[in-house]
């Protein structure tokens, strides 16, 4: 029985009743029919089951795909909000105007890096504290150089690759424990759009990992969410344990290809996978959803198989309904109902999850005052989140949203800009953001911050735009209020004359007003912010000793919380100077704690100076050399100083209470008192010279000044009498008058006295008809004595000469020194011209006797020029000028003689002046030029060298003889400029010849002995030779013998230096200067030049021949070369060669000629010698 029951149950489970089996077994027709009918029903049930299962499988698969896309979009929107918030926080940091302005000042070089860091770091730290997500800030300069950082240092590997662009950029993300870590770059732009630098902001966000990990209990979707960033070649995947195969797939198949969130089937790691991507608001980031194909297909397959089985069973149950009545059918319906209830419950759980996510999103948007929107560009449908309706203050039930409706709410002044920003974004495929206003019907205005981005199909057609709108009205109001308060605070600081600055607990300056910056030497208060002011202005005491911070009273306010008042200390200015101060330090207390201090101070300089001036005035009153008396308006003496009693002899007690007229001379006393009163009333003072009456009865000249002292209302309160004893001044005036009319060195009358005396005597002589003589005396070679023996000996010599001149003149005559070694004598009542000559002769004779000075016997002679009145002039100027001209004539004729003035001397003097004047401009006007005379060998006629000779072609006078302007150049110091020009031009020509292959051995250049006195002469020669690339041995400098012998001591050292340089030296015009063989032996010369005067009369004059032979022999004995100048005949050349002179120059070989003519001359001689 039990086995039958089991069989029946088993068959019942198969849908076949025991009776059916029995009927089949018995093979009745009805049983067969039922069996066939059952088979057909089973086949139909199987077919419907398969079709139904397939339908349910695909439906469930589509439902799960839709649910996956919805969840991806939901999480993506939440992540976009997070990223927008992060980007906004990053952008707010560089938008702070004060730290941005400080960075601009640093880049412009107005502040240094330490100043920038001390100013910026506290403010960046405030930003760090105000935003929990921010963990660190690094500020970079325009070239990426680190400037300032606070908090954690952003890892270089996390920096955005395009951090230098003009918009916020996201770097490479990573997970830091349970937090999401990312570096965002935000550009720092000034008002003109110039990029000043970049802020790198390090964020740690716990919300993003939570969003990626969202998975509700009973969730049917086996989906894992990841963030994908970075380049396709090196993607960065963020999420909980990303699979290894995912990175490989992302490299081979970039997820950017699909942006609609739909699932895509792929094969990875040998298994089927499903993957979906959604773009995020971050730069190129995607939200990636990953599922195993097997897990994803499990539920649809289960539902499909269940549905197919259910249909099959339903059909089976229908076929067995006859056999089992309604029980199997009811069981099938109940099973289907259970299944549907289970599906409804699962769908409700999923819907609750979606609603919860939406609620969280709405809550986050409401907290941030932010809503989101989406515009379908294909259908034109615009969707707003509830928060957008609240921001725009519109009823969702009554408002039909559209792009035009949105623009109608935008403020008319901003409408065009908003529309242009959106349309430009669509055209350029770039996200946009804009801050604009909303205008409501009641006139209220809101400020909103809008961001948006558009998505496109594969052909580039825009599909939809999404974005966010954030109400920032309250933020703007707070910013405006803070700006107003800051402006008001700054206005108070700027307006007060009292210096004020603030300190934080570390002693750094937090603010300062202009008065403070001005007193401390700063250009602006901003330069002080961030500085440690104790180390800047209070680091040392007035004596320079160190002032420790802990001893500073200002910091006592930090410790005790009480105000401090100090006077008598100093502050140090920026430039290192000090000034006395009185200051107060007030603690700043916040929440019961001292957070800093406010310091106010005054500059005590004026106050101390006023006190000092009062003390000084009292000291001056008592110690001044001037007598001072103070009286009241009625004239009673109130006080006198010590000088008053000393000068006049009165005691203080004798004059106090008396009238000032007591010590004024009785003569004119009443008139003086009346005059002083009138002047005090009308002009406020009086001054003049009076005679004071001393106590002993003597009269004293004084200079009296009387001043009125009035109060603020102009009422006379006191009178001050100040008098100065004029006796010393009178004596000084007499002494000054003597000095003004006499020479300080010799005591002789000076030029002033000479002019006055001469004018007086000329006036007298014109009336009496007498003759008057003016003698102009100049010492010969006085400069040589001064230079060789010293100025002290020169001064003694002048005193001795002055004494001898005074001894030889009559009392009625005058001798005056008018400067240097020049004296002028005026002889009255000269009867004959010869009388003046006799006096001049006596004067020369008296000077011929040697004058002993400091062990030296100094010999001096004089040249005298004589001019007679009225023959040679009727005015003092003419007589002095003509006497001077006559003196120059005496100099020219050998010195130690006298000459009378003639008209010829005036003409020659005028010529000298004219030549000197025109010569000054000759070099600049290129009127000078050089000619070169060849120097040849007497043995073979070969060209040995050339002598450079200067010529002057004056535009008016034509060629000026060298003798006329060279001597004048030496007298007027033009010889230095002329000599430099000659030397430079000759070296330039020599260098040109050497380059062209023109052969010569030496370049002879004449130099004045005056040039040898110039300290830099050797350096100038060396520079010129180096400049033109000439060897030193090619240059030979010629100095005249006569001039050299007078300057032997000075010239010897300079000639030694020239020889050491390698330059050759020659004595020109040898034989005419009375050379000392001793000096000749000392001089470093290389060559002697026989003067043309000894060559001219050879061979007719045997004396000249003998002299020439002697010079040649002398040169050979001293090892010197000898050259003769002025050779004009073959006979002269032959005699010189016989005498041993092997070099010559003269007209016989060639006149001085231009460089071009000289080159042609040399070429013709060379051709002639080769042809011969």
Question: What stretches of 655-698 adopt beta strand conformation (E)?
Answer: 685-693
Would you state the pLDDT for residue 25? 42
Q: Stretch 811-832: mean pLDDT, rounded?
A: 90
Pairing of the two strands 1121-1125 and 1087-1090: parallel
Residue 77 to residue 67: CA distance in whole angstroms? 15
DSSP state of 222: -
CB burial of 217-228 (b: ≥16 within 10 Å; e: otherwise) equals: eeebbbbbbbbb
Alpha-carbon gap, residue 508 to 170, rounded angstroms:
35
* Crossing angle of helices 1102-1117 and 1130-1139, rounded to 10°: 40
- For the chain, what percent of residues have pLDDT higher than 70? 87
pLDDT over 70 at 366, yes or no: no
- pLDDT in the model for residue 1076: 52
Give span(s): CATH 3.30.70.270, the chain. 742-901
| Close Cβ partners of 1029 (under 8 Å, ≥ 6 residues apart) | 991, 994
Provide the CATH topology of domain 374-473: Beta-Lactamase (3.30.450)
CB-based contact 363:386 (threshold 8 Å): no
Cα(908)–Cα(899) distance, rounded to whole angstroms?
14
pLDDT band at 1041 (very low <50, low <70, confident <90, very high): low
* Architecture (CATH level 2) of domain 624-730: 2-Layer Sandwich (3.30)
Instruction: Tell me whether residue 1167 is exposed, middle or buried, using C-beta atoms within 10 angstroms of its C-beta: 0 to 12, 13 to 18, 19 or more.
Output: exposed
Q: Would you say residue 424 has pLDDT above 90?
A: yes
- Where in the sequence of the chain do the CATH 3.20.20.450 domains occur? 922-1171
Residue 47 has pLDDT above 60, yes or no: yes
pLDDT of residue 1045: 62
What's the whole-model pTM score?
Answer: 0.36
Contact 754, 814 (CB under 8 A): yes
Fold of 496-608: Beta-Lactamase (3.30.450)
Stated as kind and residue range, the H or E segment containing 878 is helix 876-892
Burial class (CB in 10 A: 0-12, 13-18, 19+), 1001: middle
Pairing mode, strands 564-572 and 509-512: unpaired
The residue among 176 and 1072 whose pLDDT is bigger is 176
What are the pLDDT digits (tens) for 1-45? 334 334 433 433 444 444 444 433 444 444 555 566 667 767 777
Write the pLDDT tens digit of every residue in 1048-1070: 666 778 888 889 999 998 988 77
Taking every pair of Cα atoms in the chain, the longest distance, rounded to a whole number of angstroms, is: 202
Find out whether 1033 and 1064 touch, Cβ atoms under 8 Å. yes
Per-residue pLDDT band at 369 (split at 50, 70, 90): low
Q: What is the pLDDT of residue 661?
A: 63
- The pLDDT value recorded for residue 624 is 82
Asked if 994 and 1030 touch (Cβ cutoff 8 Å), the reply is yes
H helices of 113-175, in order, are 113-130
| DSSP alpha helix (H) spans, 369-505 | 386-392, 403-409, 412-428, 473-495
Distance CA 518, CA 514 (A): 6
Residue with the larger pLDDT of the pair 511 and 700:
511
Q: If you average pLDDT over residues 801-822, what whole number do you get?
A: 91
Q: What is the pLDDT of residue 668?
A: 60
Mean pLDDT, rounded, for 519-528: 91
SS3 of 48-103: the string is HHHHHHHHHHHHHHHHHHHHHHHHHHHHHHHHHHHHHHHHHHHHHCCCCHHHHHHH
Distances (CA, A) of 1167 to 741, 1041, 1163, 1170: 76, 38, 6, 5
Per-residue pLDDT, 216: 44
Alpha helices in 369-411 (DSSP H): 386-392, 403-409
Domain 922-1171 in this protein, CATH class? alpha beta
pLDDT at 330 over 50: no
Q: Which CATH number fits the domain 742-901, given the four candidates 3.30.70.270, 2.40.128.260, 1.10.10.10, 3.40.50.1580?
A: 3.30.70.270
Predicted pLDDT at 1026: 93
Answer yes or no: are the C-beta atoms of 540 and 546 closer than 8 Å.
yes
Residues of the chain with CATH 3.30.450.20: 374-473, 496-608, 624-730
The pLDDT assigned to 329 comes to: 45
According to DSSP H, which parts of 1073-1142 are helical?
Answer: 1077-1082, 1092-1095, 1102-1117, 1130-1139
pLDDT band at 219 (very low <50, low <70, confident <90, very high): low
Per-residue pLDDT reduced to its tens digit, 431-486: 999 999 999 989 899 999 999 999 998 888 998 999 999 888 888 888 888 778 87
Q: What is the pLDDT of residue 363?
A: 55
Q: Return the minimum-mean-pLDDT range out of 110-119, 338-347, 607-616, 977-986.
A: 338-347
């Amino acid at each position: 029985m039990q086995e039958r029951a089991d069989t029946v149950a088993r068959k019942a489970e198969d849908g076949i009743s025991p009776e059916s089996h029995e009927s089949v077994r018995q093979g009745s027709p009805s049983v067969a029919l039922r069996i066939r009918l059952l088979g057909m029903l089973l086949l139909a049930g199987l077919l419907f089951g398969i079709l139904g299962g397939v339908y349910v499988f695909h439906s469930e698969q589509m439902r799960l795909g839709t649910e996956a896309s919805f969840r991806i979009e939901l999480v993506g929107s939440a992540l976009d909000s997070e990223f927008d918030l992060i980007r906004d926080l990053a952008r707010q940091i560089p938008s702070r105007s004060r730290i941005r302005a400080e960075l601009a000042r640093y880049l412009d070089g107005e502040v240094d890096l330490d100043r920038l860091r001390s100013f910026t770091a506290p403010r960046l730290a405030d930003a760090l504290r105000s935003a929990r997500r921010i963990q660190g800030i690094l500020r970079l300069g325009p070239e990426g150089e680190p400037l300032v950082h606070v908090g954690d240092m952003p890892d270089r590997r996390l920096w955005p690759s395009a951090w230098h662009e003009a918009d916020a950029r996201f770097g490479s993300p990573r997970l830091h424990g349970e937090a999401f870590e990312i570096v965002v770059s935000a550009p720092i732009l000034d008002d003109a759009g110039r990029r000043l630098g970049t802020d790198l902001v390090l964020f740690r966000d716990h919300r993003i990992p939570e969003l990626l990990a969202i998975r509700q209990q009973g969730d049917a979707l086996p989906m894992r969410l990841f963030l994908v960033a970075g380049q396709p070649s090196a993607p960065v995947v963020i999420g909980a344990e990303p699979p290894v195969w995912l990175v490989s797939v992302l490299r081979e198949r970039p997820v950017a290809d699909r942006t609609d969130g739909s699932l895509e089937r792929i094969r990875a790691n040998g298994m089927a996978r499903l993957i979906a991507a959604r773009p995020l608001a971050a730069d190129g980031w995607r939200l990636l959803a990953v599922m195993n194909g097997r897990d994803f297909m499990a539920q649809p397959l289960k539902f499909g198989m269940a549905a197919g089985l259910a249909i099959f069973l339903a059909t089976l149950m229908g076929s067995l309904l006859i056999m089992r009545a309604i029980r199997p059918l009811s069981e099938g319906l109940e099973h289907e109902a259970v299944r549907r209830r289970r599906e409804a419950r699962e769908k409700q759980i999923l819907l609750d999850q979606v609603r919860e996510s939406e609620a969280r999103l709405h809550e986050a948007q409401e907290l941030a005052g932010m809503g989101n929107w989406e515009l379908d560009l294909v259908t034109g449908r615009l969707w707003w989140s509830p928060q957008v309706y609240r921001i725009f203050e519109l009823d969702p039930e009554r408002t039909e949203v559209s792009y035009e409706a949105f623009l109608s709410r935008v403020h008319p002044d901003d409408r065009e800009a908003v529309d242009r920003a959106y349309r430009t974004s669509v055209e350029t495929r770039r996200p946009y953001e804009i801050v604009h206003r909303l205008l409501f019907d009641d006139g209220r205005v809101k400020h909103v911050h809008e961001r948006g981005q558009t998505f496109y199909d594969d052909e580039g057609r825009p599909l939809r735009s999404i974005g966010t709108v954030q109400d920032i009205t309250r933020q703007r109001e707070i910013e405006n209020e803070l700006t107003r308060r800051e402006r008001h605070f700054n206005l108070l600081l700027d307006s007060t004359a009292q210096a004020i600055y603030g300190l934080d607990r570390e002693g750094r300056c937090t603010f300062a007003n202009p008065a403070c910056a001005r007193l401390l030497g700063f250009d602006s208060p901003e330069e002080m912010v961030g500085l440690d002011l104790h180390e800047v202005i209070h680091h040392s005491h007035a004596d320079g000793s160190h002032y420790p911070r802990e001893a500073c009273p200002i910091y006592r306010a930090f410790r005790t919380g009480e105000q401090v008042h100090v006077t008598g200390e100093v502050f140090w200015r920026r430039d290192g100077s000090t000034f006395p101060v009185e200051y107060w330090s007030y603690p700043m207390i916040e929440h019961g704690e001292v957070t800093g201090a406010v310091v106010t101070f005054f500059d005590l300089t004026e106050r101390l100076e006023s006190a000092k001036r009062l003390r000084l005035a009292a000291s001056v009153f008592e110690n001044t050399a001037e007598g001072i008396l103070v009286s009241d308006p009625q004239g009673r003496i109130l006080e006198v100083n010590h000088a008053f009693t000393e000068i006049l002899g009165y005691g203080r007690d004798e004059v106090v209470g008396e009238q000032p007229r007591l010590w004024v001379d009785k003569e004119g006393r009443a008139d003086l008192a009346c005059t002083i009163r009138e002047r005090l009333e009308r002009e406020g003072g009086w001054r003049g010279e009076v005679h004071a009456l001393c106590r002993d009865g003597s009269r004293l000249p004084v200079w009296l000044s009387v001043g009125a002292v009035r109060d603020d209302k102009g009422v006379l309160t006191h009178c001050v009498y100040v008098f100065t004893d004029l006796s010393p001044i009178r004596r000084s005036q007499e002494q000054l008058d003597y000095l003004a009319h006499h020479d300080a060195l010799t005591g002789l009358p000076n030029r002033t006295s000479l002019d006055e005396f001469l004018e007086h005597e000329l006036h007298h002589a014109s009336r009496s008809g007498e003759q008057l003589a003016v003698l102009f005396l100049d010492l010969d070679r006085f400069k040589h004595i001064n230079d060789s023996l010293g100025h002290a000996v020169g001064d003694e010599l002048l005193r001795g000469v002055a004494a001898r001149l005074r001894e030889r003149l009559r009392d009625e005559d005058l001798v005056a020194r008018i400067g240097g070694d020049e004296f002028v004598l005026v002889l009255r009542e000269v009867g004959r011209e010869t009388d003046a000559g006799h006096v001049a002769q006596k004067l020369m004779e008296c000077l011929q006797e040697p004058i002993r000075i400091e062990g030296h016997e100094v010999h001096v002679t004089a040249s005298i020029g004589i001019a007679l009145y009225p023959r040679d002039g009727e005015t003092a100027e003419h007589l002095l000028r003509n006497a001077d001209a006559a003196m120059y004539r005496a100099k020219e004729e050998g010195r130690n003689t006298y000459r009378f003035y003639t008209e010829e001397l005036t003409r020659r003097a005028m010529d000298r002046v004219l030549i000197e004047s025109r010569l000054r401009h000759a070099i600049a006007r290129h009127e000078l030029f050089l000619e070169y005379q060849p120097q040849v060998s007497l043995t073979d006629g070969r060209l040995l060298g050339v002598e450079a000779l200067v010529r002057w072609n004056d535009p008016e006078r034509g060629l000026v003889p060298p003798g006329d302007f060279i001597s004048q150049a030496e007298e007027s110091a033009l010889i230095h400029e002329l000599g430099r020009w000659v030397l430079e031009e000759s070296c330039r020509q020599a260098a040109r010849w050497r380059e062209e292959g023109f052969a010569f051995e030496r370049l002879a250049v004449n130099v004045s002995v005056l040039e040898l006195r110039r300290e830099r002469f050797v350096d100038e020669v060396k520079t010129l030779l180096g400049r033109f690339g000439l060897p030193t041995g090619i240059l030979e400098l010629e100095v005249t013998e006569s001039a050299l012998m007078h300057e032997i001591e000075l010239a010897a050292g300079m000639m030694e230096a020239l020889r050491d340089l390698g330059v050759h030296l020659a004595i020109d015009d040898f034989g005419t200067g009375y050379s000392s063989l001793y000096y000749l032996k000392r001089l470093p010369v290389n060559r002697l030049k026989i003067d043309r005067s000894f060559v001219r009369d050879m061979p007719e004059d045997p004396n000249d021949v003998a002299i020439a032979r002697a010079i040649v022999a002398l040169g050979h004995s001293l090892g010197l070369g000898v050259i003769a100048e002025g050779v004009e005949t073959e006979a002269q050349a032959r005699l010189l060669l016989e005498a041993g002179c092997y070099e010559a120059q003269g007209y016989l070989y060639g006149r001085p000629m231009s460089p071009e003519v000289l080159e042609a001359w040399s070429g013709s001689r060379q051709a002639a010698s080769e042809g011969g």
